[in-house]
Amino acid sequence: DIVMTQTPLSSPVTLGQPASISCRSSQSLVHNDGNTYLSWLQQRPGQPPRVLIYKISNRFSGVPDRFSGSGAGTDFTLKISRVEAEDVGVYYCMQATQFPRTFGQGTKLEIK
Amino acid sequence: EVQLVESGGGLVKPGGSLRLSCAASGFTFYTYTMNWVRQAPGKGLEWVSSIGSSSNFIYDADSVKGRFAISRDNAKNSLYLQMNSLRAEDTAVYYCVRGFEGFDYWGQGTLVTVSS
């Protein structure tokens, strides 16, 4: 199974400041078809998860452009350019390159 | 608008059974892979099971293999999860999720509690 490791697990951030979350996979996420199926999900308190980014860097419909994804192979990053109050929650990376699908442990973003 | 509405959760004793349902609307259900993902109280996300658009493939997590069975009825735009031999560690919110290479839409979830 592919193990997804996120750092940090907790991130206190000042409103208006940037934030960054890293995700490392135990093996390459490049699929045989050439795509890399790495997604980022956000889970606000009391809500189901929602997808922010898919295939490393593609923003899902309706996601603000302050969210961006980057990386390749086994190392990936989610960046928030300027944190807003509504960004509080837990962020997960997830791989869909192979079964079983696996998630990172989650990174809790909170406001200082 | 894509909607996924889960039902069927509740309190069940260890060793018992439960069947979850997910009613899908707002998209061509029969063209999408569907999944169940669960989240234990205060914990992270755990993939449970996936089924292909025409039930052409099924994958299950090792933790539920032989106990849970995913199925779908494309005529009814519905996804199911039959859960047998339930254990305390199966206690979680179960989400119905659309997608194959990425999980793009999630339902609100249904809570399953396994306790005597």
For residue B101, what pLDDT is reported?
A: 81
Q: What is the pLDDT of residues B77-100, one digit of tens each?
A: 999 999 999 999 999 999 999 998
Distance between A31 CA and the closest CA of chain B, angstroms: 10
Contact state of B102 with A106 under an 8 Å Cβ cutoff: no
For residue B100, what pLDDT is reported?
A: 85
Strands (E), A14-88: 19-25, 38-43, 50-54, 58-59, 67-72, 75-80
User: Is omega for the bond preceding A18 within 30 degrees of 0, making it cis?
Assistant: no
Distance between B46 CA and the closest CA of chain A, angstroms: 7
Contact state of A94 with B101 under an 8 Å Cβ cutoff: no
Distance between B24 CA and the closest CA of chain A, angstroms: 16
- Partner A contacted by B35 (CB < 8 A): yes
Cross-strand partners of A68: A79
Q: Which residue of A has its CA nearest to B37?
A: A101
Distance of alpha carbon B72 from its chain centroid, rounded?
10
Using CA atoms, how far residue B116 sits from A91, B15, B110, in Å, is 33, 10, 19
Contact state of B102 with A55 under an 8 Å Cβ cutoff: yes
Number of CB atoms found within 10 A of residue A10's CB: 10
The answer to whether B14 touches B67, Cβ cutoff 8 Å, is: no
Phi and psi at residue B89, to the nearest 5°: -75, -5
For chain A, what percent of residues have pLDDT higher than 90? 99
Q: What is the pLDDT of residues A53-107, one digit of tens each?
A: 999 999 999 999 999 999 999 999 999 999 999 999 999 999 999 999 999 999 9
User: In A, residues 65-84, which contact B (CB 8 Å cutoff)?
Assistant: none
Q: Torsion angle, CA of A56/A43/B76/B72, rounded to 10 degrees?
A: 70
